[in-house]
Amino acid sequence: MNRKISIGLALAMFICIRANTQETLTAEQSNPSKLGWMQGFPPPKEKIISAIDGSFFQFPALRYSVCHMRQFMPTTEVKAAATNRYELKVKPDANIDAVTFLPWNSTEPMTWKESLLRNYTDGILILHKGKIVYEKYFGALKSNGVHAAMSVSKTFTGTLGALLVEEGLLDENKTGSDYVPELRDSAFGDATIRQILDMTTGLKYSEDYSNPNAEIWAFSAAGNPFPKPPSYNGPNNYYDYLVTVQKEGGHGEVFGYKTINTDVMGWIISRVTGKPLSELLSERIWKPLGTHVDGYFQVDGAGIAFAGGGFSANMRDMALFGEMVRKNGKFNKNQILPSRLVEDIRNGGNKVAFNQSVYGKSLKNWSYRNMWWITHNEHGAFAARGVHGQTIYIDPLAEMVLVRFASYPEAKNAKIDPTSLPAYHAIAKYLMSK
């Protein structure tokens, strides 16, 4: 592959199947401060990481870059609230560290505290009944900093799309080409808004990074924000690529977690509102929440936001979003989302379509709705999820919202779900016991 094109692959690293791990260091050993990434004036040559050669998203360098994405890639801001900022109350619970749980397929209990380092946690925050009961920072993340949300970005895009459906600006039974005529000859041309939001589209598109011919490479090259080589003759931005996606199989049959669904939804949202995704997210959600820190989206060479994985945000601000959803859309004296929308998310999507997918094997009885993951467990928990360990986990019965930022060496959440999902459930049950 042309090395000049490969710089665009940094965009795809947000949604990659696995990180390029040349060495496996523990969380303590890979702490960015200890490794000295980008420190000094200038930093030593061996401590400089770059988007040009892709080193910025290889472990262990990714533990630094997830907190400093705009040092490497162009971005556009998601403005926080200038007034009426919401202040979370703090009521620490010192006993949480000692809560134990049984990891999947294990007979050895693990403590909550042990699980944090095991999963390369950068930041963790737990709200119970709207108050912070637990908050810790590791690695390069600071309390006033931001962290790459990875595919948690999808949930923000999906929630905005669902909001426009609720308001009547989008009809979930109409197709992608009804709103963006340029999509007419693509796979999205006859896919409904509902199928796009729930990712039950039939797309000829692979995100298998082990396959050099997988479509993800063309998508990544199109989104490359840096100058392309003279020999390049492919799509020049995300939208240019989306119109080339071809259909494979029928729509509405099987859940297929493919990032381009989110990026086409971002295009549809911007087309019907006349606003870039970053501006709409700020106006409709981020500012009304009373957030404190500007977030930002990574953008391609045409200034188009990477809707499927390019959002970076502050951890407390993410917790405000989770708490708003837990409280049925009402927060900071605003009805930010209609309660019917939140109810629709909590009810979940098509379980049959989900269970027929590869995810149905490990996440049994789950579903996917409006780009949220629904567990359908005894507490009715649901979540936003992103590679390398990002999550907003909401447990309505326990009145708990949990936000985690992480930089696990491998991208697949399947690698850390065994020591994460049962831990979240154990914390929820502990909080309920109080």
> How does pLDDT run across 30-65, given as a tens digit for each residue?
999 999 999 999 999 999 999 887 789 899 999 999
pLDDT tens by residue, 150-176: 999 999 999 999 999 999 999 999 999
* Residue ranges, CATH 1.20.58.710, the chain: 159-265
Residues 6+ apart with CB under 8 A from 414: 362
258-272: average pLDDT: 98
* Residue ranges, CATH 3.40.710.10, the chain: 96-151+277-433
As a 3-state breakdown, the chain gives helix, strand, coil percent values, each rounded to 5, of 35, 15, 50
- Looking at the domain covering 159-265, what would its CATH class be? mainly alpha
CATH architecture of 96-151+277-433: 3-Layer(aba) Sandwich (3.40)
- Short-list 293, 186, 228, 284, CA closest to 9: 228
249-254: average pLDDT: 96
Specify the pTM. Answer: 0.94
- Sign, CA dihedral 62-68-72-74, equals positive
User: Average pLDDT of the chain?
Assistant: 93
According to the model, what pLDDT value does residue 7 have?
41
Query: Has residue 8 got a pLDDT over 80?
Result: no
Q: Kindly state the tokens that stand for 145.
A: 């900093």
d(CA 143, CA 315): 7
Do 223 and 267 form a contact (C-beta atoms < 8 A)? no
- Short-list 23, 63, 26, 17, CA closest to 412: 17
> What percent of the chain is predicted at pLDDT more than 90?
89
Instruction: List the 295-298 sheet strands across, edge first.
Output: 75-78, 295-298, 311-313, 147-148
- Short-list 308, 342, 347, CA closest to 323: 342
